[in-house]
Structure 1
Amino acid sequence: MRDALTGLGVSPGRTAGPAFRMAAPPTLPDTVPAVADVEAEKTLATKALTQVSSVLEELAARVDGEAAEVLATEAMMAADKTLADAVAAAVAGGRPAPWAIADAIGAQQETFTQLGGYFAERAADLADIRDRAVAHLLDEPMPGLPVPGRPYVLTADDLSPADTALLDPNSVLAIVTRRGGPTSHTAILARARGLPAVVGCAGILDVEDGAAVSVDGTTGEVTEIDESEVDGVREAAARERERLAALTGPGRTADGHAVPLVLNVGGVADVVADAEGVGLFRTEFLFLGRTSAPSVAEQERAYAELFGALGGRKVVVRTLDAGADKPLPFLGLAAEENPALGVRGLRVARAHPEVLAEQLEAIARAANATAADVWVMAPMVATTAEAEEFAAAVRTAGLPVAGAMIEVPAAALRANKLLEVVDFVSIGTNDLSQYTLAADRMNGDLADLLDPWQPAVLELVASCADAGRSTHKPVGVCGEAAGDPLLALVLVGMGVTSLSMSAPSVPAVRAMLAAHTLAECEHLARLALDAPDAVAARQAVAAATNG
């Protein structure tokens, strides 16, 4: 057995199989032809981008939930006027349509990467738009996913949203990419499909096509193995999945302490029948790719569809989490040098209070028309005054339960004060890690700092849980940390009252909780908090649970 490659495990599970690499897209010829007719060349470029946008919209219509949201966003980017203007300028400067598109998108990618955060994550989307447009103009097909005729592990430098959204889980066993981060589209969509996935895995492209590999989406380890070992790994993984599936019912510890395991969803397609409820309903999908805000009636219909599917179960709705780092054209917000620290989430209401007011009205109407237990929370809350103003707006709209997301250290440090004015808080560990450690969540070189096991992050979570206990109010976690079975024990031991995750993560977390008492969870939390670093915290808890 060879030495393991190590990346960032972003979707749990273990499997094995032959590795096959995603084919490279068409490339531009070395010789650049002269432009004979500038206007004709501009028309060719415009038609290519329009065609790409149309194809992506058609693909979005074929899928649901997060996949549809991702593809709709990419379609909007392909149709963006800023990109079209940049391409036209490049053509006017003497570049043929394919080269003009590549130049314009290359410049945008560089800008997005420098901005970091959400923009850096969109660099892969821009690459997909470029490749599709270039393939169209060169009259060459875009390469699809490998078709080796047997189940395989997909390896790639990175994957486009379209590739990830449309892959067949019956053919693809796992995904391993050289680039990407925990909030990349590859990670998000792999989790939604229950596929083990590892990103940021240096050296994966050196693995030859057909070579057998084992993939652990929890630890991030990818190891070349003998072909004879593949069946054993997959059989052991299948037995583990069967064991987890056999354990049903609500989340609780071995001694009966209830811990609701609820879902992170983008729409009704992400809801599973036996879910205890929804802990994070992302509402951005309804606002993407639009030049004007959706009407109250349109929003009401969309919300009522999800609420109706949940019956009387709880659903926590996050109000629009958009702004400069998730640009929506109709908002008309100015560009910012550092969007991660700018006008996003609840801060958008400073410039557009009507968007929040209309969304709350639509949520209230949908809640009144269904039996769901509807709670509402605001993203990017930093101060008690913001939380208090939001809670007043929620109650004015006729909604009884108002909460705040804890994503920045300021909110975590003052959680006790926030809980004096709101009914609950929900911790978004992805952004909390980024802001606490001052580490861009798309920077693969800083993956160790983005680890939710970092003691500084755990201390902030524990502080929030303490505030919940003292005020007798719920404190949930809706970041990806909630779906880590081992870390779930620590969070419960700290006093977190609910865990929200993607549906495929629930069985493993449920089983882990059922195997440990609340007292054991509290002991594990102390071990993690006392550890000097993230690696030591994880190792200490793992050793204690195995012992």
Structure 2
Amino acid sequence: MELRGIGIGQGVAVGPVVRMSDPLPEPADQPSTRSQHEEMERTKRALSVVAADLNSRGARAGGSAQDVLEAQAMMAEDPSLVDDITARLASGKTGERAVFEAFATYRELLVGMGGYMAERAADLDDVSQRVVAELSGLPAPGVPDPGYPFVLVARDLAPADTALLDLGAVLGLVTVDGGPTSHTAILAREKSIVALVGVQGAVDLTDGDTVILDAENGVVVSGPSGAEIADAQARIAARAARINAPALPGALSDGTPVPLLANLGSADGAAHAVELGAEGVGLFRTEFLFLGAAAAPSVEEQQEQYVRMLQHFPGKKVVVRALDAGADKPLAFLNDADEENPALGLRGLRALRVTESILRDQLTALARADAETDADVWVMAPMVSTVEETRYFVGLAHELGLKTAGVMVEVPSLALMADRVLVHADFASIGTNDLTQYTLAADRMLGTVAAFQDPWHPAVLRLVGEVGAAGATLAKPVGVCGEAAADPQLAVVLVGLGVTTLSMSASALADVRAELAKYSLVEAQAFARIALDADDAAEARAAVHAASQVSAQ
């Protein structure tokens, strides 16, 4: 049996299925048939068992995962929660209901506190579910731990679940829900997990079934033959050899250069990106310096952090994105006002212009860091919508000593005006995540419209083509720094649309490099035309895949 979905990357995996349990339903609110003492004893035991299990899992995981799981274990035995549960048991409730209500009350308290504490609410939900499961004699929710390597099948995964996956145990991941830019897909790419998302038929897979996950072809094969397993294992070995081979500069088969850059959120991952063959940085997110701060960092504090990053890339391009605050990243000192629709509100460059001193300080710090290192620093503004905004940002960056200044193309208006925008900007970098969001009118933070968040959609690709054509006419570089660049086959299409550089999670570099090397510029342009002729994202993806199979023969 073959099931179709959206493959993340080009990996292949073979192994037995282990299904992830669905969340438990809310326990019934009915009087207990046990004595208060019996309910108290079984509830205490359940809390203790869950705490011990979380601590054990943390000890096996180590690192930051251990810290997270130990914190969850402490939640399970928090004295104030235990007191609340005890009081509810005294009123005659079941252990399951008392635990559910006590944790729900504490959850509301954390959410009301906001910030870091609000983010812990999801961890509290997980502990609550585990205790209720223990009381009910059901498997614990969350990622299972069968004790052997397996292919995880789930409705979907929370970001925390994906981030904490044991890569020594999870051979691959199949989800029923989710799209190519969902949190699950993004984290799977970052962690190099073989994954297929949006596999509707995955609900029919059962524990113990042997499956082949073929992300490159978007297929899950259930009950494969011996020959199919042997072929999959050969492909796994070939991919491992390709990833471990010395990294060459990105290029098409005809020698057309396509520099492959890394997306980084701080200097911490820079050395690893260089090891994996990053030819520079296409997106350096600077929000880490500002998030959680009561006030904007000083010029000197920013300069120190920028130098940490830049020193890893002597002689190489590093594209720095100016502070992208707003929407899902509000800052108290910049734009924390409640907005009806923050994705369309005061974010990115719009917010920085309101408090220009913050923007000036950041650009000044970058110019000083540029002078202190040998990296080639480029800077770009996020959430630019107009030619006037382009002139403003580029002019200010040049005034403050930065020689190369450009804009992110995330808003359709900017793509449609690319021939005017690139008269003033030194370069453009396309953020396909937001460009897709605004083109398809689908909030990228809402799972209910995740199916619309697909950069393969011909409407999105037409906008990319507008920017690529303007860049070619005006001899200005055009990059892509959104998740689309990490999709190997889509990367070829983007180059065919006129994109000159691609930036992605460092773990995706090897697969994209190998895919580009299969095709010439003429073939990439042909794939782009095929994608543009499609009616929707699924048709575009399928048509290009079919054409690439013919081309490879």
The bucket for the TM-score relative to the shorter chain is 0.7 to 0.9
**C-alpha displacement at 1:403, in angstroms?**
0.8
Structure 2 CA distance for aligned equivalents of residues 219 and 290 of structure 1? 44
Structure 2 CA distance for aligned equivalents of residues 3 and 405 of structure 1? 40
Q: For residue 197 of structure 1, what is the aligned residue in structure 2?
A: 195
Letter aligned with residue 202 of structure 2: I
Deviation sequence 1:435-454 (CA, Å, 0-9, x none)? 11223335566555433222
Secondary structure of the equivalent of 1:326? coil
Please tell me whether residue 127 in structure 1 is matched to residue 126 in structure 2.
Answer: no
Q: 2:511 aligns with which of 505, 508, 526?
A: 508
Q: Equivalent residues in 2 for 1:243-282 (5 A)?
A: 243=242, 245-246=244-245, 248-270=247-269, 271-273=273-275, 274-282=277-285
**C-alpha displacement at 1:243, in angstroms?**
3.8
Q: 2:442 aligns with which of 410, 415, 439?
A: 439
**C-alpha displacement at 1:423, in angstroms?**
0.5
Secondary structure of the equivalent of 1:20? strand
Q: For residue 544 of structure 2, what is the aligned residue in structure 1?
A: 541
Structure 2 CA distance for aligned equivalents of residues 326 and 348 of structure 1? 12
Distance 1:486 1:139, change over 3 A: closer
Distance 1:524 1:157, change over 3 A: closer
* TM-score, scaled relative to structure 1: 0.78
Structure 2 CA distance for aligned equivalents of residues 472 and 25 of structure 1? 54
Structure 2 CA distance for aligned equivalents of residues 513 and 246 of structure 1? 16
Structure 1 CA distance for aligned equivalents of residues 358 and 132 of structure 2? 40
**C-alpha displacement at 1:331, in angstroms?**
3.3
Secondary structure of the equivalent of 1:163? helix
Structure 1 CA distance for aligned equivalents of residues 386 and 110 of structure 2? 34
**C-alpha displacement at 1:499, in angstroms?**
0.9
Structure 1 CA distance for aligned equivalents of residues 181 and 207 of structure 2? 27
Please tell me whether residue 398 in structure 1 is matched to residue 396 in structure 2.
Answer: no
Distance 1:252 1:332, change over 3 A: closer
**C-alpha displacement at 1:395, in angstroms?**
1.9
Secondary structure of the equivalent of 2:435? helix
Q: 2:155 aligns with which of 157, 168, 174?
A: 157
**C-alpha displacement at 1:186, in angstroms?**
2.4
Q: For residue 18 of structure 1, what is the aligned residue in structure 2?
A: 16
Structure 1 CA distance for aligned equivalents of residues 306 and 162 of structure 2? 26
Distance 1:131 1:149, change over 3 A: closer
Letter aligned with residue 151 of structure 2: V
Structure 1 runs not aligned, ≥5 long? 35-50, 79-86, 110-122
**C-alpha displacement at 1:394, in angstroms?**
1.5
RMSD: 3.9
Deviation sequence 1:195-246 (CA, Å, 0-9, x none)? 1223344453553222222223345433322485545423322223424544
Q: Is the 8 A contact 1:212 1:230 kept in 2?
A: no
Structure 1 CA distance for aligned equivalents of residues 64 and 309 of structure 2? 17
Distance 1:412 1:32, change over 3 A: farther
Q: Is the 8 A contact 1:25 1:142 kept in 2?
A: no
Secondary structure of the equivalent of 1:272? helix
**C-alpha displacement at 1:10, in angstroms?**
3.6
Q: Is the 8 A contact 2:10 2:488 kept in 1?
A: no
Secondary structure of the equivalent of 2:274? coil
Structure 2 CA distance for aligned equivalents of residues 398 and 59 of structure 1? 50
Letter aligned with residue 193 of structure 1: K
Q: For residue 453 of structure 1, what is the aligned residue in structure 2?
A: 456
**C-alpha displacement at 1:107, in angstroms?**
12
Looking at CA atoms only, which structure, 1 or 2, has the larger radius of gyration?
A: 2
Structure 2 runs not aligned, ≥5 long? 33-50, 76-83, 92-96, 112-117
Distance 1:532 1:159, change over 3 A: closer
Q: For residue 288 of structure 1, what is the aligned residue in structure 2?
A: 291
Deviation sequence 1:338-370 (CA, Å, 0-9, x none)? 122111211211333232222222222322222
Letter aligned with residue 104 of structure 2: A
Q: 1:352 aligns with which of 352, 355, 369?
A: 355
Distance 1:177 1:442, change over 3 A: farther
Structure 1 CA distance for aligned equivalents of residues 251 and 183 of structure 2? 31
What is the number of equivalent residue pairs in this alignment?
490
Structure 1 CA distance for aligned equivalents of residues 370 and 424 of structure 2? 22
Q: For residue 117 of structure 1, what is the aligned residue in structure 2?
A: none
